[in-house]
Amino acid sequence: MLEPEFKNCPLCGDGLVKKYNTNEKTVITLKGKLVCWERVLKCRNKDCKGNLMSFHSSEYKSLALSSMNFGTDVLALEGGLRFSEHKTIDEVLDKLSFYGIHTNRATVSKHSDKYLALISGYHKENKRQFWKTTCCSQ
């Protein structure tokens, strides 16, 4: 079970309490299967906007994309093998089996698309940040 990394409301400083638990999720990582869930918290102060908000665990959110059961570490390995080392899908499957992960070509292909989308988003964000901090601050 993972909770937010902070225990006090970032808006008023009061303590956080349970809002709800997510369903259990199995995530396949390079270190094995991980069964986990998240305890989402809210501010206990009913007069604070944080009482209506949901505070999440960044560790839980970073384990896997919300629509996937494979961990981001697996996605990063697959993407690195495909696009940095120029490995074929079959070579990626061989490497995954080394970690005890047995999947198929379609899944690796789908993960490659997700990896490219993540890298693209990362570059867009960095480009935006670059322009903000270097040229457009006048």
Residue number, 9 or 96, with CB nearest to Zn ion:
9
Per-residue DSSP letters for 28-85?
A: EETTEEEEE-BEEEEES-TTSGGGTS-B--HHHHHHS-TT-SB-HHHHHHHHIIIIIS
4 touches Zn ion by CB under 5 A: no
50 touches Zn ion by CB under 5 A: yes
- According to CB under 5 A, which one of 2, 30, 48, 118 is a site residue for Zn ion? 48
What does the block give as tokens for 94?
A: 């061989």
11 touches Zn ion by CB under 5 A: yes
9 touches Zn ion by CB under 5 A: yes
- According to CB under 5 A, which one of 22, 29, 45, 107 is a site residue for Zn ion? 45
43 touches Zn ion by CB under 5 A: yes
Distances 27 to 12, 73, 77, 130, 134 between C-alpha atoms, Å:
34, 11, 15, 34, 40
- List residues bridging with 15 in a β-sheet: 8
Residue number, 43 or 74, with CB nearest to Zn ion:
43
Q: How far apart are the C-alpha atoms of 4 and 16, rounded to whole Å?
A: 9
27 touches Zn ion by CB under 5 A: no
Q: How far apart are the C-alpha atoms of 97 and 82, rounded to whole Å?
A: 16
Stretch of 41-49, 52-60, 64-72, 84-92 contacting Zn ion, by CB under 5 A: 41-49
Which residues 55-84 are close enough to bind Zn ion by CB under 5 A? none
Binding footprint of Zn ion on the chain (CB under 5 A): 9, 11-12, 14, 43, 45, 48, 50
